[in-house]
Amino acid sequence: MASLILASGLDAQSISCNASTSPSNPQDLDGDGIPLQATFSVDCRVESTYLKGKITLRDQDDNNRKSGYALDTDQYELSFNTGTANQSGLKLDLDVDLNWRNPNYDIRYNFYFEAYKPGKRYSQRYNYTAEYVPDDPERPFVGGTFNYRGALEYRTPSRYYLLQGLATNLRYLRSCTSTFVGGSFSLTDSQGNRLDVVYNGCGNVTVTYNGEAL
């Protein structure tokens, strides 16, 4: 580290960095590599450049290797010219919640990215919830039903775009490799345009766009 500071030409007094894991030796009873709960934090400063953030990883059930996990980010931010009129930077947030509630699987996902500079801000967000219910808990991926609701959002100083997706009772069978065998899926954009896909059996699909067959 000292050699890097010298090579950068920066005054060592201007550099402050703290990274930590709490607890320092987190519990992992089921040995799946996911701690009961652990928080990783970073807080670094090099002159007017800052990096701050915190992320927590948690096992849903530390006695069950299949239980899933939760990942919660307390927004990482990298900023330049911090505290001045020319401040710019990046922000990142990621939250994932994966659960196995025998026999069902469900997930919650949220991703946010932002870039900013004086007078301008650009961002992208993608979030969804999904659930999979297998027909046979002993053979979960032979067949089952999938539900999903999500949204992709994009913003710039002059533009806004939103795409929403909804899957309702999508039926999956391993024996059908080409399509789902039941249920529906739709996409709707910020202009109100809508694409609908309906599965009526293996290989039997109906697609409409704004109510007109494709």
Q: What is the pLDDT of residues 16-49, one digit of tens each?
A: 889 999 999 999 999 899 999 999 999 999 988 9
Given this model, what pLDDT does residue 66 score? 84
Distance (Å, whole) CA 51 – CA 71: 20
Helix (H, G, I), strand (E, B) or coil at 82: coil
Distance (Å, whole) CA 143 – CA 137: 10
pLDDT surpassing 50 at residue 2: no
Q: What is the mean pLDDT of residues 191-214?
A: 96
Exposure string over 95-126, b if 16+ CB within 10 A, otherwise e? bbbbbbeeeebbeebbbbebebeeeeeeeebe
Task: Compute, in degrees rounded to 10, the torsion defined by CA atoms 132, 138, 139, 144.
Answer: -30
**pLDDT, tens digit, 9 for 90 and up, residues 131-179:** 999 999 889 889 999 999 999 999 999 999 999 999 999 999 999 999 9
User: 159 to each of 122, 142, 154, 190, how far by Cα in Å?
Assistant: 9, 44, 8, 11
Q: Please give the structure tokens belonging to residue 128.
A: 């969804």
Given this model, what pLDDT does residue 12 score? 54
- Answer for the pair 141, 173: CB distance below 8 angstroms, yes or no: no
Please provide the average confidence, as pLDDT, over all residues in the chain: 91
What are the beta bridge partners of residue 88? 80
Name the H helices within 103-201: none
In the chain, % of residues over pLDDT 70: 93
Given this model, what pLDDT does residue 100 score? 86
Given this model, what pLDDT does residue 152 score? 98
Name the H helices within the chain: 2-8
Stated pTM of the model: 0.83
Q: What is the mean pLDDT of residues 96-123?
A: 93
Given this model, what pLDDT does residue 150 score? 98
pLDDT surpassing 80 at residue 75: yes
- Answer for the pair 73, 95: CB distance below 8 angstroms, yes or no: yes
pLDDT tier at 13, thresholds 50, 70, 90: low
pLDDT tier at 6, thresholds 50, 70, 90: very low
